[in-house]
Amino acid sequence: MPRLKLLLFTLIRMTINTAHRMIYPFISTFARALGVDVTTVTLLLANRSLFGALAPLVFPFIETRGRRFGMLLGLSLFVGAMSLSAFWPSLTTLGISLILAILGKAFFDPSMAAYLSDEIPYQRRGTALAITEFGWSLAFILGIPAMAFLISKFDWSAPFKILAVLGALALLFVFYNIRDVHMPEHHADGVLGNLRAIVTSPSVIVALLIGLSASAANELVNILFGVWLEDSFQLKIAALAAAAAVIGVSELSGEGLVALLADRIGKVRAVGTGLLLNCLALALLPVIGRTQTGALIGLFLFYLTFEFTMVSQISMMSEVMPRARATTLAFNGATQSLGRALGALSTAGLYALGFSYVTFAAIGMNVLALGAVWYVSRHHE
């Protein structure tokens, strides 16, 4: 795999992820500009998540057309989404843009990962996929500040114009430079055969539960760490800004560690190691989090070990069912979304009991994920 191609895929993912992640820090800005309250924009995000979770049901029809087709379709939807809010900014077009963009991401990401998996042997795949995952953390470190500059300099729709142009350039790159290495095999039972094979395979279902449980654990802390910092230290903007920087750097560090270690120690072992270290970080968080510095150190360790776990898990999932690789990866993304939803539903009641109860519940979720890792280790790698 040429390094330039890998770099360009990483930049494309950074562009898509910037559009995905920028809504959260600027949600109040968008709401004010559109003349609505924050709850209204939050409902648009809920709609986005719903459509994202349904995307894998469509993916079997896409996978049979090839990886290139899936990437082109995803990027076409992304460009259309950004263009809508760029040139016809309104609450309605923002809602449609969010839906089209999540579908574009849901189609592009697994198609790209499957394309790389077709080209790169499993023994070296962890490094390549981890490099493209830099697009997630770099969106937070580089993309979000750039979008903040555009919003402050122009208006809330300015980022969508730039992202539409970048998406169009990405579309041209894929169209002219990417060709399928191996066309996916057509299942004997037709287009839904791969879908049936996934949902009836115990190994695949258990492997998907790893992402679901670990994502639920992560979301418990993800939603409440800002509230925890505010309640503990009475610092709002300063503490949250520092925490945001910590999260971005820790995610980048986790992805870097996967690139260095996952292929060497094995993907399943890397996932298990990440979960164990994440449990340790969760146990430490209430203990060392009695000071602001300790809290930020604890969050750094928590997000680093989580990112290491999840990026390793993506590499692992690329080989659980090779004949339906892209659809399996699409389902993996959907189950992670479901896990985040389950975690979010549990937050309020747990935090009322105390932050240590939140971390204890997250450890419990991780233990379930470790059980799934043990099962997969007996049937894979």
14-26 confidence digits (pLDDT tens): 999 999 888 876 7
Through-space distance between the first and last CA atoms of the chain, rounded to whole angstroms: 23
HSE-CB of 91 using CA atoms within 13 angstroms: 14
CATH code of 195-377, in short, is 1.20.1250.20
Burial of 4 (0-12, 13-18, 19+ CB in 10 A): exposed
Domain ranges of the chain: 3-179, 195-377
Rounded Cα distance between 244 and 153, Å, is 22
Is 195-377 the same fold as 3-179?
yes
How far CA 286 is from CA of 220, 233, 355, 368, 380, in Å, comes to 14, 14, 7, 21, 36
pLDDT, mean of residues 353-373? 90
Percent of the chain scoring above 70 in pLDDT:
88
Top-ranked range on mean pLDDT: pick from 7-16, 22-31, 45-54, 144-153: 7-16
Q: How many helices (H) and strands (E) does the chain have?
A: 16, 0
Q: Tally Cβ neighbours within 10 Å of residue 2.
A: 8
Burial of 27 (0-12, 13-18, 19+ CB in 10 A): middle
Write down the pLDDT at residue 8.
Answer: 94
pLDDT, mean of residues 358-369? 93
pLDDT, mean of residues 275-290? 91
Residue 371 has pLDDT above 70, yes or no: yes
Q: Which residue has the higher pLDDT, 279 or 248?
A: 279
pLDDT tier for residue 237 given thresholds of 50, 70 and 90: very low
Write down the pLDDT at residue 9.
Answer: 95
DSSP labels, 25-67: TTHHHHHHHHT--HHHHHHHHHHHHHHHHHGGGTHHHHHTT-H
Rounded Cα distance between 285 and 262, Å, is 26
pLDDT, mean of residues 249-255? 88
At the topology level, CATH places domain 3-179 in: Growth Hormone; Chain: A; (1.20.1250)
Q: What is the pLDDT of residues 128-179, one digit of tens each?
A: 888 998 898 888 888 888 888 888 888 889 999 999 999 999 999 999 998 8
pLDDT tier for residue 358 given thresholds of 50, 70 and 90: confident
CB 328 within 8 A of CB 315: no
- Nearest CA among 304, 259, 257, 262 for reference residue 280: 304
Report the mean per-residue pLDDT for the chain: 84
Q: What is the pLDDT of residues 77-92, one digit of tens each?
A: 999 999 999 999 999 9
Q: Which residue has the higher pLDDT, 171 or 288?
A: 171
pTM passes above 0.75: yes
Q: Which residue has the higher pLDDT, 129 or 281?
A: 281
**Among the listed ranges 52-56, 121-125, 313-317, which one has the minimum average pLDDT value?**
52-56
